[in-house]
Chain A
């Protein structure tokens, strides 16, 4: 009987194979298409995000995983052409250098720096590194890290000169080229004759202010922003190209500002016991009542800038949970003082119910070792950043609409991401530092997976606006933060 089964098995197998040819086909359901768009020649305009900046640097792997590169790869499935990027050569793959995880201290990653090998010298200002120049004439990824809309019309922005310059723009231009970014884009448009573009400028018009704790570049002026933003979009659409513009995400949502938990740091500082000797001396020196003396405790103090009738002035105050401590503050708070002030950095004494004279006495006798402003985005600065972001986004959206462009509302998307995270194909991603997969080690710029998520969101906006069916990518095929393997 077994024999009969053995004999009939091949027959059954054959029959099954013949009939098993009924492989269902979903590839035309729906069929990929470019819709009303034409992706044959694509250029990308923007800043560090467009350049593929990641882990605090531009390096080859980051460039290869830039969102324009991912978009171009998907566009190719619906008639898109080749896409040239100003890649660092293999021999200079580490580019401007970048942050990496070198090990772990318990569960906390220890960060180290991968040395740059794409630096060829020092600029005429004796401080800006000169990067390996991209000599190709085919560049389609025009992302320049650090550039603001406020900078795009500035002549000499990428010109190696003693007053300083942008090295990432300098490496895209021929040597000693004093053109502005807008002029460079004009030349690219004239040469490439793009049929499609993306424009994600604007982030640095608020980020520079925010990431320096409000100490560096000011927030860009909306009127100037409107003029320059409109001009660059006009340049991009001169040949009738279709395209996409993207809004500015609320920078307060990125790990640079959210990783150090202000409330918990404040709690820890407050619960640290004040040595009895200090309490005793202060009680005597300030003639504290027993009730006042009972409230002596440590507090976390920060420097903030307030506007007074005579101009901005620096004020020291105790931090509240509404202030955002930057990622960089974590290696500073409660470390030994670097000044004459005997308190550890960020710490000071707080006493409740002091009379003005007593308060002045405390400030004189035991001034707080306040955290410098660059480590804190204080509540006032947060409000200023958010208000300006909203204003600039309104301009971006208005200009985009007036030209009938697709609009990727990055602000809305990243707000949702910060609230709910993003689960794709069963893999959880959040806006958290390191563990969230989407933000790189600088706490601001995405990882390759973060860029893939952005590319997919842009594709959704493009598909909706132009009736296209550009396929998205499997974002889980792109890495998060690189762990030692």
Chain B
């Protein structure tokens, strides 16, 4: 199978990424092997997904390889309004983030080249009809697919560096909410595709001994820009239709930079332990602004020609710990956990990311069917801790465009991956 057909296959199945699998709308599902180990891998050189986690580690891979993986995320959100009304839930939806990695290098060369496709950001949520937050959000689908060609170079046997060009190749946003009218409710849908964006993923990997390795990587910010997205409005009271004339929108969503540090420990041949810390520069996400237009000129939608909603995220840290134990040459068991600090401050929680700190547990199993061909299964469970915001907090922060209440979310993410080394 060539890289090209792989990418095409990937493109066809890439249905998106789900409901914020790391703080904010970040999706941290590097590969089935990494997921099984709590998402670690920046300080390891185990697999092709190094291209994403730390391009510097790719040159240390000993084999050419192709690997693909798919996850399915099942998010269960519960919301209870601050007034004490009944609990609201999400309408169940499943999304399937996907990852593809391939790398090649001549035998005994210090260079190695690779290509990868992955989905580092995304969200997909659909709330119960008529829920209290419907004027903030009914439904959101956010997708960002990155393609990354990568080269990596081993300076010495112990030190390697690598860099990739991150291309935001396709992305889209679809946002639907209700419009409050005096004696009716209308609907608005914003739908747009992102422009192509570019960034850098660079890393350095150092393995001072057989038992120890460290890594550092950086992925830059890419602004997901939508220009000329479609605005569709329906159900507006006749007397107020003159307030809903804009039919296009522009918006920019920052997909923030991350700095990742990892440590790998290999006490013996059977056991590998990784420890990662991810720093995500969420403070870039200050507000979400939509500018509305018609025929190229600013045009009113609702109360004005633009809408702006405060986000004021703070930078987030994620701590990951995970390990793999090779029971036999064929069978590997994996276990991990993570704690993810939320970028969303009190009073700023929005329905599109009903966020709080997350406690994450993972498990995985890998099986080598032949010497070259292996399969990996992974499972991740995330508990997004209970988060309550009051009307007073919304008033204090000027964030009354969202809803006061309590959120609590569980996410289950099973996944399966295949790898072929040659």
Q: Which residues of A contact B (CB under 8 A)?
A: 1-2, 4-5, 8-9, 12-13, 15-17, 19-20, 22-27, 29-30, 32, 104, 423-428, 434-435, 437, 456, 459, 469-474, 476-477, 479-485
* B 397-421 binary contact with A (CB < 8 Å = 1; else 0): 0001111101011101111101000
For A26, the chain B residues whose CB sits under 8 A away are 78-80, 87, 386, 406, 408
For A19, the chain B residues whose CB sits under 8 A away are 74, 379, 381, 412, 414
Q: How far is the CA of A8 from the CA of B381 in the complex (A)?
A: 20
Query: A32–B184 contact, CB under 8 A?
Result: no
Query: B83–A20 contact, CB under 8 A?
Result: no
For B79, the chain A residues whose CB sits under 8 A away are 26
For B402, the chain A residues whose CB sits under 8 A away are 426
Closest B residue by C-beta to A479 = B183
Q: Is B106 an interface residue (CB 8 A)?
A: no
Q: How far is the CA of A15 from the CA of B94 in the complex (A)?
A: 12
Query: A104–B132 contact, CB under 8 A?
Result: no
Query: A473–B87 contact, CB under 8 A?
Result: no
Query: B409–A24 contact, CB under 8 A?
Result: yes
Sample 5 A-B pairs with CB under 8 A, ordered by A number.
Answer: A2-B9, A12-B72, A472-B85, A480-B182, A484-B238
- B393 CB to closest chain A CB (Å) equals 13
Query: A23–B86 contact, CB under 8 A?
Result: no
Query: A24–B76 contact, CB under 8 A?
Result: yes
Closest B residue by C-beta to A17 = B74
Query: A484–B135 contact, CB under 8 A?
Result: no
**B window 238-258: CB within 8 A of A:** 238-240
Q: Is B273 an interface residue (CB 8 A)?
A: no
Query: B416–A425 contact, CB under 8 A?
Result: no
Closest B residue by C-beta to A19 = B412
Q: Is B364 an interface residue (CB 8 A)?
A: no
Contact A1/B92 with A26-B79, A423-B400 known, Cβ cut-off 8 Å: no
- B80 CB to closest chain A CB (Å) equals 4
Q: Is B343 an interface residue (CB 8 A)?
A: no
For B288, the chain A residues whose CB sits under 8 A away are none
- Out of A15, A30, A104, A485, name the residue touching B184 (CB < 8 Å): A485
Query: B80–A481 contact, CB under 8 A?
Result: no
Q: How far is the CA of A479 from the CA of B181 in the complex (A)?
A: 8
- A270 CB to closest chain B CB (Å) equals 33
Query: B84–A470 contact, CB under 8 A?
Result: yes
Closest A residue by C-beta to B133 = A425
Closest B residue by C-beta to A476 = B180
Query: A22–B76 contact, CB under 8 A?
Result: yes
Q: Which residues of B contact A (CB under 8 A)?
A: 1, 9, 13, 68, 70, 72-74, 76-81, 83-87, 89, 92, 94, 130, 132-136, 180-184, 237-240, 379, 381, 386, 391, 394-395, 400-404, 406, 408-410, 412-416, 418
- A430 CB to closest chain B CB (Å) equals 12
Q: How far is the CA of A161 from the CA of B183 in the complex (A)?
A: 40
For B412, the chain A residues whose CB sits under 8 A away are 16, 19-20, 22
For B238, the chain A residues whose CB sits under 8 A away are 483-485
Q: How far is the CA of A30 from the CA of B406 in the complex (A)?
A: 11
Residue in A15, A459, A477, A484 whose Cβ sees the most chain B Cβ within 10 Å:
A15
Residue in A4, A25, A459, A474 whose Cβ sees the most chain B Cβ within 10 Å:
A474
For A479, the chain B residues whose CB sits under 8 A away are 182-184
- Out of B94, B181, B237, name the residue touching A16 (CB < 8 Å): B94
For B86, the chain A residues whose CB sits under 8 A away are 27, 471
Query: B135–A476 contact, CB under 8 A?
Result: yes
Query: B239–A427 contact, CB under 8 A?
Result: no
A sample of 8 more A-B contacts (CB under 8 A), given A1-B418, A23-B78, is A20-B412, A26-B406, A29-B80, A423-B394, A456-B83, A471-B86, A483-B238, A483-B240
Q: How far is the CA of A15 from the CA of B80 in the complex (A)?
A: 28
Query: A22–B72 contact, CB under 8 A?
Result: no
Q: How far is the CA of A485 from the CA of B81 in the complex (A)?
A: 29
